Amino acid sequence: MTDKQHKPIEKVSIVLSKGSLDGVYPGLIMANGARMEGIEATLFFTFFGLEAVMKKRVKKLKVATVGNPAMHMPTILGSIPGVSAFATSMMKKEMDKIDIPPVDEFIEMISDAGAKLYACKATVDMFHLTQDDFVPQVDAIINVGTFYEKSAGAQIIFT
């Protein structure tokens, strides 16, 4: 195949492993974009990425200010009380200006558009969670082997 004969992407599987607002949105934006382009999308939430689909936490995600080099500030400043809340508030305002919905609404939109959402069984077991801990859009709790089966033929993206 030459460079001009690329086969279009038909399927993506996106692994979300970070629980911060700035860690979750890239995967959601990519999944939404895939569905808008008619590309099949699967999201696999693992480790702290589960925060994005936990009923208790989905509306409480914050921007990571400590140890985040993209914040362009010394780590010590990010640890000052209120800095993370301020950064989160600013990010949410900017996202609202460009019509990016809050995480819970975004998850509902992506699910309604036909994407499949899964929680990682090993992480669920490690954190002593159950299906009841998750938003209703989480289709199932699956192990890595099942994730790979569902991802057959997909481009796997790790965010």
Q: Spell out the domain ranges in the chain.
A: 11-61+102-158
Under DSSP, is residue 114 helix (H, G, I), strand (E, B) or coil?
Answer: coil
Q: Which CATH number fits domain 11-61+102-158: 1.10.1040.10, 2.130.10.10, 3.40.1260.10, 3.40.50.300?
A: 3.40.1260.10
> What is the reported pLDDT for 67?
65
pLDDT for position 71: 65
pLDDT digit string (tens) for the chain, length 159 residues: 555 678 889 999 999 999 998 899 999 999 999 999 999 999 999 999 999 999 999 999 988 777 666 666 766 666 777 777 877 788 888 888 998 999 999 999 999 999 999 999 999 999 999 999 999 999 999 999 999 999 999 999 998
Number of Cα atoms under 13 Å in the Cβ half of residue 46: 17
Entry pTM = 0.87
